Each structure stands twice: as structure tokens, then as C-alpha cells.
Amino acid sequence: MVGSSAMVGWINKHGHTKIKQFYLKGKKQSEVIAGKGELPLNTVSPAVATNGAEIYLAFQLKTEIPYGKQPILLAFSTKTPQNHHLSNHDDRTSIIFDFSSVAGPQDPASDGLIQMRRNHGIVGIIGWGLILPVGAIVARYLRHKDPLWFYLHSVIQFVGFAFTLGTVLLGIQLYNNMHAHIPAHRGIGIFVLVLTILQILAFFLRPNKDSKYRNLWNLYHSWSGRMALFFASLNIVLGMQAAGAGSDWKIGYGFLVSIIIIAIVVLEVLAYLKRSEKRSLHASFQMDSVPDPSFPNNFSKVSNVPIQAQAGYGI
């Protein structure tokens, strides 16, 4: 890189985009000179465009001879330049760009990464956004269908866990290939994965129904599951923002979340009405089963007969 020129773009702390040419005279920070370089820019002003976590640099070069195929070094840093002083890059890669090609370079590896990122999002939404919430709904609102609810809940959650593992594996591959710096998305993903593994272990270590620890296990299992679903949904949103997902992704996931919330509200209302009906029937049954403590009106007539008979028997 020493002796070359570079176009550098960034977003400052105020959210404004900047782009400037630098001459890389040496490897020291003082030898990287801003506003200098050997790239022959034309009269069109360079520009910076952003799309989520992606940043694009646009500039035009003027030349009388075609460049043909040229190597280009791409590098990025997570630190914003201070007073046009560049920091050391976090990662870099190189490509061969054919300037004589109208359609631009064909990079199968780049297309593969884009497809892998898309698959990461799809598998995550299906697993965490659909399958696992349905399994939780079955466990809460189908308890009266014992043991059907238990088998359904177990099968659905194990399928969801398989999708979770697929999401994590795709995420690891993306990180190894792209080195994307998304600490919040990655950290929450690891936390949710740990909660999921603990849920699977809890399934195999659950105590018997008559155990004194069963209520504590039920409390832990239900609330840790809810926590995992909450952070998973939050992580899906963070992932879409980091990837610069389009409106179709956001609308689709929002529609899915809305359907699940509406279903939960309807089922919760029906469950409440059913519990209220059972309580009213139970109270009515108790009122009907209590004997009337009042004496009959003809008690004196009934009681006179045995009294006279006893008196006559004594004569």
C-alpha cells in the first residue's frame, strides 16, 4: 500500500458523510497525507451513500487510456478519522476489477456471502419467529389435552432448536468470512443460544410431578423460555438493521409478529373466560349442596305424633 492513493469515506459523529483522497506515503499515521494522491478525479464530486450497516463510495476517474484489469485493495476500520488522521484498518481484502467490462466484476464469492446472509435471516425468522413461539403457545393453551400437548410441545421445540443451530452455524460462517463488527447482534445471539441449550437440558432433567422441586422447575422453564423468545425477537430486528434489510423483510416479520400477538391475546381471553365459567359453576355447586338449616313449618304436627305414642305406650 505504501506509495499508493486511497479514497476514504466515513460518517462523522454528527451523522454527516465524508469522503477524501489520501496519499499513503508510509506506514506511520503522519505519513498518510489527506487531500493528496495520484488518482485523477474528474469534475464530478465524490459522494458517500449508506444502506444500513453498508457504506458506498462513489467517485469518477478521468483517463485517456483504459485501465483494463487492476487490483484494488479494500479495507475498513471501526474508528472515525480524527482531524483527517486515519487509524489502522481492522480488516482488508483485495479484488481484481475489470474496468473494461461494462457489467463490472463477477465475484461468485460475494454472491455466495449475500445468499448466506439471506439464509441466516430466513432460518432465524422461521426458527425463532415462528416455530418456537408456536411451541410455547401449545404448552400454555393446550394443557387440557394431556398428554397430547406435551408431545406436541416437545416435537415442535426440538424442531425449532434444529433451526436455531442452523442459524448459529450460518452466523459463524458469515463472521469468519466477512468479519462483520456487530457486537450487539453477536452477543445477544450467544446469550439466546445458551438459554436454548439450558431449555433442552431442562427437558431431560425435569423432576417427577410429585417432586417438591417440580413447581420451581416449571417456573424456571416457563420464564427462561419467555426470556429467550424476547431476546431472540430483539436480535432478529437488530440483524435486519445491521444487514440493511429492505422494507419487504421488515413488513414480513412485522406481519408475523402481529399474527402471533393477536393469537396470544385471543387465546388468553378465551382461557380467562373458561376459568371464570369454571369458578362460577364451582361456586354454584357449593351453594346447592349446603343443606337448609331451617325446620319445616309442620314440625309441630309431625313431632306431636311420636310424643303421644310414647305417652300411650307408657300407660
Higher pLDDT, 314 or 173: 173
For 129-158, the DSSP string reads IIIHHHHHHHHHH-TTSTTHHHHHHHHHHH
> Which position has the grid cell 364451582?
282
| Cα–Cα distance, 180 to 190 (Å, whole number) | 15
Quick one: pLDDT at residue 315?
A: 34
Quote the percentage of the chain above a pLDDT of 90.
33
Full-model pTM:
0.58
Lowest mean pLDDT, pick from 164-168, 182-186, 225-229: 182-186
**Burial of 82 per CB tally in 10 Å (0-12, 13-18, 19+):** exposed
Contact of 75 with 92, CB cutoff 8 Å: yes
**In a 3-state reduction of DSSP, which class is residue 282?**
helix
299 — pLDDT class (breaks 50, 70, 90): very low
Judge whether residue 307 has pLDDT over 50: no
**What is the tens place of the pLDDT at every residue in 59-74?**
888 776 556 667 788 8
Q: Angle CA(225)–CA(229)–CA(232) in degrees, nearest 5?
A: 135
| Cα–Cα distance, 264 to 71 (Å, whole number) | 56
| Cα–Cα distance, 125 to 256 (Å, whole number) | 9
Backbone angles phi, psi at 274, to 5 degrees: -65, -40
Quick one: pLDDT at residue 293?
A: 54
Judge whether residue 309 has pLDDT over 90: no
Q: What value does the mean pLDDT take over residues 203-221?
A: 89
Q: Is 213 left (phi over 0), alpha (psi -120 to 50) or beta?
A: alpha
Domains in the chain and their CATH numbers? Answer: 5-102 (no CATH), 109-279 (1.20.120.1770)
For 30-48, the DSSP string reads GGEEET--S--B-SSPPEE
